[in-house]
A and B are shown apart, each in its own frame.
Chain A
Amino acid sequence: MATQRINMPQLGESVTEGTISNWLIKEGDQVDKYDPIAEVMTDKVNAEVPSSFSGVIKEIIAIEGEVIEVGQLMCYIETTESNAPEQTQQKQPVEKTSTQQSDRSMKNRYSPAVMRIAQENDIDLTTVEGSGKNGRITRKDVEKIVKEGKQVSRSDKAQVEETSQNNEALEEFTPPIIRRKSVEARPGDREIPVTGLRRTIAQNMVRSKTEIPHAWMMIEVDVTNLVAYRNAEKDKFKENEGYNLSYFAFFLNAVAKALKKFPELNSCWAGDKIIQRNDINLSIAVAHEHELYVPVIKNVDEKSIKGIAKEIHQLSRKARTGTLSKEDMEDGTFTVNNTGSFGSVESMGVINYPQSAILQVESIVKRPVIIDDMFAARDMVNLCLSLDHRVLDGVICGAFLSHVKAILESISSDTTPIY
């Protein structure tokens, strides 16, 4: 018998915290290993946390509604298993649960002594529970960790992340130092609390824009043929399949084909290397009310127009009903953003970190164009590409865009069957 900690697991890349939405067990319950013990809501997904051990739940530390950082204690379990690697940690944070719920404003205020000791001993302070006033980490807290030799060092943590996730590029990121004046609300202003998802969007955007040197390109495509082809097929398609034959499916198809030819764009920056992805998994942005989800369509290059249209339809529905799973959001390699759906004709996308490029498909608009020295009314669309200039250069991206253009302009029932 030994008391073990069950900590908040890593529930997806770039997830750093989760809210306990529901405990599925209570103190004294017998659980088996891998039994679900709690429902956790992260900014990306809802998930169930499995028990890491078989045993009896001894003490529940985290309360429902509480935001718990990855790696932080959720509950104690009295195990029936022997060998207990983390036994030494068991007692320490018990008395701190009450302060945890109250004022934590000093949690990230480190004294010079705490910073020095943490640096000298490679302690990740974000994982340390503070015993000082308002959650402050005291010198004694870190000294205790050093003495007990159980520090969660940065390198250890990085390794854990690396093995559990294939997010090699993440570890080189150092968060920017943000010095900003506090913004005060004026009388009559409405204050909207930043929810988990909004905060994640903000963090990802800041991370992408501060780390990735963005460059932009735009190309104009004549999609008159595509419009004609799609208009000819859409009613029949809707009737047969029950969902829309969207333009977006054709664009994804063209992008996947072009990525096959130019795999340089299907890659990510990994510090000392560039990783070129084998799979072509396209992230698509789906907005719902005030939220933005980026689900992924896997292996788009292997799918027909119908297959892609179906997945777009399914993922959009899941996003609207809030049922997107963790798997739905994972492993994207390139992002295509349907900015035209809200009328945009030109935009500069922010790259979906850690990918290396994002393509914005703008509105299709009828415009006068000159063909063979004559005016013609054509359906035109702008494609805007943001690229990570560490990974990509103008020449390759220009070639990629030209290829996408060529594919789109030659679309017909011959070149691009729907089924």
Chain B
Amino acid sequence: MPVLNYIQAVKEALKEEMERDEKVYVLGEDVGVRGGVFRATEGLYEQFGELRVLDTPLAESAIAGVGIGSAMYGMRPVAEMQFADFIMPAVNQIISEAAKIRYRSNNDWHCPITIRAPYGGGVHGALYHSQSIEAVFANQPGLKIVMPSSPYDVKGLLKAAIRDDDPVLFLEHKRAYRLLKEEVPEGEYTLPIGKADVKRTGSDVTVITYGLCVHFAKEAAEKLEQQGISTEILDLRTVYPLDKEAIIHSASKTGKVLLVTEDNKEGSIIGEVAAIISEHCLFDLDAPIQRLAGPEVPAMPYAPTLEKEFMMNPDKIEAAIKDLAEF
């Protein structure tokens, strides 16, 4: 089985889907001749031509709008936002149009668009290239937000997103692009959207997180295992809507829950996870639900020391798990 990194898994999923279905096409800034700033669409222009690999102007609202319109007419667009930070001009298109069209038209229309966007920090990207934007979109019924944590999940989930008949926001952690590598099967497989995944089973503390933080949590858990602390890791994979059943199951299992996100703490995805747990798991809880998140600071700083302070890392997670285990 070939070992792919995260970005290669993106490329493979796109290529396979474009080969499978000629209605699938990609559009975005520099996705064509250039092959994307992160090389996610490398070779697609050559293979599928300029009509299926569209270079667009620097206008995110247009990228989303064109994609949404074509999706409603039967195409399967995969729109790329060069950085998630730049998705803001497209918010109106995504929230008010894509997410609502099925409901608004009483099921006459639907919008099978996938919008890919690299998010997250730790790459010296500073303010405009480090943001986590998932929480902005995470209360819009009609929209799904998928945030895979590994190359294997990327391929299976991206293919599922493209085949989904409704809009999917597909957020890829840019630091993971070349950091994470694993064996990814060639050819056909998809993973279910809306389902969380137990990445590690354990009995002392449950860590619930998503994206790159899953990787950090795994590293922390491995270290703690040598100290006799057994950690369960639940990867949300889809952060909206949340997989309540899996959250309740994993939280109830240990009764000690650590929620981790790279995003700012207040109003983040994990706050919603905490709410689900407190609604359903009170009599299984053995400790207060703990949140580990970025500080309430407007943006990821550029100075490396401050960026390091802001970013999530395995040491922070390890300390938090240990605290809970000892409680």
0/1 per residue, B204-241, Cβ < 8 Å to A?
10000000000000000000000000000000000000
Q: Could you say which residues of chain A place their CB within 8 Å of the CB of B283?
A: 112-113, 115-116
Q: Could you say which residues of chain A place their CB within 8 Å of the CB of B286?
A: 111-114, 138-140
**B326–A132 touching, CB < 8 Å:** yes
Least CB distance from A120 to B in Å reads 10
**A113–B285 touching, CB < 8 Å:** yes
Q: Is B287 in contact with chain A by the CB < 8 A criterion?
A: yes
**B326–A111 touching, CB < 8 Å:** no
Interface size class of A (residues with CB under 8 A): 10 to 19
With an 8 Å Cβ cutoff, the count of chain B residues facing the other chain is: 11
Q: Is A136 in contact with chain B by the CB < 8 A criterion?
A: yes
A158 vs B204: C-alpha distance when bound (angstroms) = 34
**A112–B327 touching, CB < 8 Å:** no
What is the predominant secondary structure among interface residues of chain B facing chain A?
loop
Q: Is B282 in contact with chain A by the CB < 8 A criterion?
A: yes
A142 nearest CB neighbor, chain B only: B286
* Contact with A112, one of B204, B256, B285, B326 (Cβ below 8 angstroms): B285
Q: Is B164 in contact with chain A by the CB < 8 A criterion?
A: no
Least CB distance from A249 to B in Å reads 60
Q: Is A317 in contact with chain B by the CB < 8 A criterion?
A: no
Q: Could you say which residues of chain B place their CB within 8 Å of the CB of A138?
A: 286, 327
Q: Could you say which residues of chain B place their CB within 8 Å of the CB of A111?
A: 255, 285-287
Q: Could you say which residues of chain A place their CB within 8 Å of the CB of B282?
A: 112
Q: Could you say which residues of chain A place their CB within 8 Å of the CB of B284?
A: 112-113, 116, 139
Q: Could you say which residues of chain A place their CB within 8 Å of the CB of B256?
A: 139
Least CB distance from A386 to B in Å reads 43
A132 nearest CB neighbor, chain B only: B327
0/1 per residue, B109-122, Cβ < 8 Å to A?
00000000000000
A139 vs B256: C-alpha distance when bound (angstroms) = 9
Q: Could you say which residues of chain A place their CB within 8 Å of the CB of B255?
A: 111, 113, 139
0/1 per residue, B50-73, Cβ < 8 Å to A?
000000000000000000000000
Q: A111-B255, A113-B255 are in contact. Are A136 and B327 (CB under 8 A)?
A: yes
Most chain-A Cβ atoms within 10 A of its Cβ — which of B255, B286, B327?
B286
B256 nearest CB neighbor, chain A only: A139
A138 vs B327: C-alpha distance when bound (angstroms) = 8
A136 nearest CB neighbor, chain B only: B327
A161 vs B212: C-alpha distance when bound (angstroms) = 58
Q: Could you say which residues of chain B place their CB within 8 Å of the CB of A115?
A: 283
0/1 per residue, B244-262, Cβ < 8 Å to A?
0000000000011000000
29 of the cross-chain contacts (CB-CB < 8 Å) are: A111-B255, A111-B285, A111-B286, A111-B287, A112-B282, A112-B284, A112-B285, A112-B286, A113-B255, A113-B283, A113-B284, A113-B285, A113-B286, A114-B286, A116-B283, A116-B284, A132-B326, A132-B327, A133-B326, A133-B327, A136-B327, A138-B286, A138-B327, A139-B255, A139-B256, A139-B284, A139-B286, A140-B204, A140-B286
Residues of chain B whose beta carbon lies under 8 Å from any beta carbon of chain A: 204, 255-256, 282-287, 326-327
Residues of chain A whose beta carbon lies under 8 Å from any beta carbon of chain B: 111-116, 132-133, 136, 138-140
